[in-house]
Amino acid sequence: MYEEIVSTVTSQFAATRTDLEDLVRIPSVSAPEYDPAEVVRSAEAAAHLLEAVGMQDVGLLRVGDAHPAVFGEIPAPPGAPTVLLYAHHDVQPPGDGWTAEPFEPREQDGRLYGRGTSDDKSGVVMHVATLRALDGTVPVGVKVILEGEEESGSAHLDEFLASHGAALAADVIVIADSGNWRTGLPSFTTSLRGLVDCVVEVRTKQHAVHSGMYGGVFPEALTTLSRLIATLHDDRGKVAVAGLVGGDADPLDLTEEELRSQVAVHDTLETIGTGTLTSRLWRQPAVSVLAIDAPRISDAVNALVPVARAKVSLRLAPGQDPDEAMGALREHLESNTPWGAQVTVTPGSVVHSFELDTGGPGYSAFSEGFRQAWGRAPIEVGQGGSIPFVAAFSAAFPTAEILLTGVGDEKSRAHGPDESLDLEELRRGCIAQTVALIELGTS
Q: Name the site residues for ligand BES (rule: CB under 6 A).
A: 119-120, 150-151, 153, 177-179, 195, 349, 351, 383, 385-388, 414
Q: Which is nearer to ligand BES, 12 or 363 (CB)?
A: 363
Rounded distance between C-alpha atoms, residue 44 and residue 414, angstroms: 24
Minimum distance from residue 384 beta carbon to ligand BES (Å): 6
Q: Which of residues 85-144 bind Mn ion (CB under 5 A)?
A: 119-120
- For ligand BES, which is the closer residue by CB, 121 or 309? 121
What pairing do the DSSP bridges indicate for beta strands 286-293 and 303-304?
A: unpaired
- The DSSP-derived string for 144-163 is EEEESSGGGT-TTHHHHHHH
Q: Which is nearer to Mn ion, 177 or 418 (CB)?
A: 177
Residue number closest to ligand BES, CB atom: 385
* Residue 439 near Mn ion by CB under 5 A: no
Could you tell me if 188 and 366 are in contact, meaning their C-beta atoms sit under 8 angstroms apart?
A: yes
Count of positions on this chain that bind Mn ion (CB under 5 A): 3
Give the burial string for 330-354 (b: 16+ CB within 10 Å, else e).
bebbeebbbeebebebeeebbbbbb
Counting Cα atoms < 13 Å in the Cβ hemisphere of 325 gives 31
The rounded distance, in Å, linking the Cα atoms of 148 and 154 is 8
Interacting residues of 307 by C-beta distance below 8 A, sequence separation 6+ = 201, 202, 203, 204, 221
The number of C-alpha atoms within 13 Å of 249 and in the hemisphere containing its C-beta is 29
Which residue lies nearer to Mn ion by CB, 19 or 119?
Answer: 119
Partner from Mn ion, ligand BES, none binding residue 178, C-beta < 5-8 Å depending on class: ligand BES
Residues in 161-180 at the binding interface with Mn ion, rule: CB under 5 A: 177
Q: Which is nearer to ligand BES, 204 or 386 (CB)?
A: 386
123/186 with CB nearer Mn ion: 123
Asked if 147 touches Mn ion (CB under 5 A), the answer is: no
Give me the least distance between CB of 89 and Mn ion, in Å please.
10
Would you count residue 73 as binding Mn ion (CB under 5 A)?
A: no
Query: Cβ(421)–Cβ(116) under 8 Å?
Result: no
- List residues near Mn ion by CB under 5 A: 119-120, 177
